[in-house]
A and B are shown apart, each in its own frame.
Chain A
Amino acid sequence: MISIKDLTLSFDSDRGRTIVLKDFHLDIADGEFVAVVGASGVGKSTLLRVIAGLVKPTSGTVTRDNPETPGRRPYAMVFQDARLLPWRRVVRNVEFGLEGLGLDKATRRRRALEALALVGLADKADRWPHQLSGGQRQRVAIARALAVDPDLLMMDEPFGALDAITRQGLQDELVDLWQRTGKTILFVTHDIDEAVYLADRVVLLAGSPAGVRSADRIEGPRPRHRDDAMARETANAIRGRLSGTVEAGEGI
């Protein structure tokens, strides 16, 4: 389990103190798929950066049950843009997070190839990033994150820059990957339908400073259908709450 407790983040600038997040609280069970939705600019991405340790919180804690294990990293991130290093071949991009973990070269290569196989790109290992399509690049980014075998896989609007068909394909692939690997996923998106389609639980982040406005458990068996009536109802309810908060002038 991963517990985020009383997370508060504020910045001091010339114009005074800006509080981005206040008393953010979230427990994520092992193997759970949690989506965080909210208006753009509300602090969803910042939340991920705080959890990943890229930004130091003003107060609050992020704790994991799992002990530090050699050869793994506790967190891994998939960004909206694939952020592949153009000077590395695909397999070397996937090895990026494995470097510095005390693994020998052969082990790094084996784990990178396994991760590439998981996303169905084993045959592209020796390509350069610019030789791949946008969807393939994002799958490499997912492989790079999976390769370090993280306790928590964080995804920051990972399909936001892709065309609709590629996006739907990758959404289904992600659910499949999640079921096969049993990874814990924290998925940020502004697309409520996407969140409801993918996640076990959808957390609405709203307000200024931002906090958890609501958390909906998405029931029902998988595989899900995109036009499921109950899911649509939940999505509409979240949209209603979100537009309520936006109209009150708190969201943006």
Chain B
Amino acid sequence: MARPRALRFSLSLLGVVLFFALWEALPRLGLVKPMLLPAPSEIPATFWRELTSGAWADAVLQSLQHYLSGLVLGSALGVALGVATGMSRTLEDMTNWIVRLLRPIPGLAWVPFAIIWFGVSSTAANFIIIVGVFWINYFAALGAVQAVDRDLIELSEAFGHRSPLAKLFKVILPASVQPIMAGLRTGLGQAWMAVVAAELFGVAGLGQRMMQASSLLATDVVVVYMITMALLYGVVDMAFVALRDRLLAWKA
């Protein structure tokens, strides 16, 4: 019962057209005040203004800097500690209760401390993002390492790779790449949310620009930055999937 490709494509396109038509109609027919919901036809002009004033590039660069540095650090820490805990029973037992205590605290609950410790600064934003992606990667890596086929570890020992480091690089890491990558990818989305949240509290970037615009009821500007976020996330996610598929070429 597979639908033909052309039909599926047409239906998807129709959905987009209907969505924008409805959106355009609402303010134009006076059903919603244009100030509360800008018509999509106004967005390109607003985008052009933001672009030429330089505000757009500034905000994007600042947000990307928060995003990438927080993401890289938080993911690296999460994966490293998750792998180490997965390989060591002692470490697992030692961290068991601490993890249960800290894990349920939402990343955003760290905002007060981030601001007290680091002020309204890039460091505070980085900190919130790091906390936001740490747990996802920690649990993905821990679960991945614990799920590695014991038979392959025995194989590694039978062929002379007996030290923890040898096992790590010969078997455990390659066997865990896929679930760790899945964790990293979830983190990509989580980190975006943390970026915006941190910037809504005043750290310079896309989120801050949105807050400024909304306090002036410049909803068209808000929409420009919402779309910007969606596009940036889409680009990062696509790049990540391409990288992952290269690493997992053996699956094909």
| A89–B155 CA distance with the chains assembled, in angstroms | 17
Contacting chain B: which of A32-40, A93-101, A200-208? A93-101
Residues of A within 8 A of B159 (CB): 73, 76-77, 96-97, 144, 148
A117 at the interface (CB under 8 A from B): no
User: Most chain-A Cβ atoms within 10 A of its Cβ — which of B159, B170, B171, B250?
Assistant: B159
Residues of B within 8 A of A148 (CB): 159-160
Contact: A100 with B160, CB < 8 Å?
A: yes
Contacting chain B: which of A60-68, A78-86, A161-169, A175-183? A78-86
B177 at the interface (CB under 8 A from A): yes
Chain A residue at minimal CB-CB distance from B171:
A85
Residues of A within 8 A of B151 (CB): 79, 81, 83
CB of A156, distance to nearest CB on chain B (Å): 10
Assuming the contacts A83-B151, A83-B152, A96-B170, asked whether A54 and B157 have C-beta atoms less than 8 A apart, the reply is: yes
Contact: A86 with B250, CB < 8 Å?
A: yes
B166 at the interface (CB under 8 A from A): yes
B158 at the interface (CB under 8 A from A): yes
A87 at the interface (CB under 8 A from B): yes
A24 at the interface (CB under 8 A from B): no
Chain B residue at minimal CB-CB distance from A77:
B158
Contact: A100 with B161, CB < 8 Å?
A: yes
| A83–B175 CA distance with the chains assembled, in angstroms | 13
- Those of A44-77 within 8 Å (CB) of chain B: 52, 54, 73, 75-77
- Those of B143-162 within 8 Å (CB) of chain A: 151-152, 154-155, 157-161
How many A-B contacts at CB < 8 Å in the complex? 48
Residues of A within 8 A of B166 (CB): 100
Contact: A83 with B161, CB < 8 Å?
A: no
| A128–B171 CA distance with the chains assembled, in angstroms | 16
| A100–B167 CA distance with the chains assembled, in angstroms | 12
B234 at the interface (CB under 8 A from A): no
B164 at the interface (CB under 8 A from A): no
Contact: B158 with A52, CB < 8 Å?
A: yes
- Those of B101-160 within 8 Å (CB) of chain A: 151-152, 154-155, 157-160
Contact: A85 with B158, CB < 8 Å?
A: no
| A85–B170 CA distance with the chains assembled, in angstroms | 9
Contact: B154 with A87, CB < 8 Å?
A: no
- Those of B28-55 within 8 Å (CB) of chain A: none
Contact: A85 with B174, CB < 8 Å?
A: yes
Contact: A87 with B177, CB < 8 Å?
A: yes
Contact: A99 with B158, CB < 8 Å?
A: no
Residues of B within 8 A of A79 (CB): 151, 155
| A73–B161 CA distance with the chains assembled, in angstroms | 11
Residues of B within 8 A of A99 (CB): 161, 170
Residues of B within 8 A of A54 (CB): 154, 157-158
- Those of B5-32 within 8 Å (CB) of chain A: none
Residues of B within 8 A of A88 (CB): 174, 250
Contact: A87 with B250, CB < 8 Å?
A: yes
CB of A137, distance to nearest CB on chain B (Å): 13
Residues of B within 8 A of A73 (CB): 159-160
Residues of B within 8 A of A97 (CB): 159-160
CB of B196, distance to nearest CB on chain A (Å): 37
Chain A residue at minimal CB-CB distance from B157:
A54
Chain B residue at minimal CB-CB distance from A96:
B159
| A52–B160 CA distance with the chains assembled, in angstroms | 10
Residues of B within 8 A of A128 (CB): 250
Contact: A83 with B155, CB < 8 Å?
A: yes
Known: A75-B158, A87-B174, A128-B250. 15 other contacts (CB 8 A): A52-B158, A54-B154, A73-B159, A76-B158, A79-B155, A85-B174, A88-B174, A96-B155, A96-B159, A96-B161, A100-B161, A100-B166, A101-B160, A144-B159, A148-B159
Q: What would 5 A/B residue contacts be, using CB atoms closer than 8 Å?
A: A54-B154, A77-B155, A83-B152, A85-B174, A85-B175
Top 7 A-B pairs ranked by shortest CB distance?
A: A97-B159, A77-B158, A87-B250, A83-B155, A87-B174, A128-B250, A54-B157
